[in-house]
Structure 1
């Protein structure tokens, strides 16, 4: 389930990033950061399942930081 979610999020993030690079439009940057954060959460949960707690906690902290950044981006735009 988590692996499938990661494989769904990856192309969506790449498409949004490519759109931003090609059009030089940063309108969807906050959405991309939010989706990247969700992908970090999924990867962190996968690491917890593999009993690698250090990497799991690191990815969860990165998820929390990216959620904070994306919320700030949504509020400022």
Structure 2
């Protein structure tokens, strides 16, 4: 189920980023960053669920928290 969610989020992120690049409309950037953070969070959870206690899962979770923080600031400042 997490892999399906990751694939779904990656498709949405790809579509939003492509739209922003083609139209040069960057008003959707906070949404893009929030969904990117959610996708990286799901990736980190998948890594931790594999029972591999490597640093990559923890790094993904930390990066996702930073991306969500940036998106919240983007929502508040715009």
TM over 0.5: yes
Q: Which position in structure 2 is the counterpart of 1:67?
A: 68
Aligned CA RMSD, in angstroms, stands at 0.7
Q: Which runs of 5+ in 1 are unaligned?
A: none
SS of equivalent residue, structure 1 residue 51? coil
Runs of at least 4 residues off by over 2 Å: none
| Residues matched between the structures, number | 77
Give unmatched runs, 5+ long, in structure 2. none
| TM-superposed deviation, 1:50 | 1.3
Task: Kindly indicate whether residue 48 of structure 2 is the aligned counterpart of residue 48 of structure 1.
Answer: yes
How far apart are residue 51 of structure 1 and its match?
2.1
What's the CA shift string for 1:8-60, capped at 9, x where partnerless?
Answer: 11111111001100110001001000000000110000000112331111001
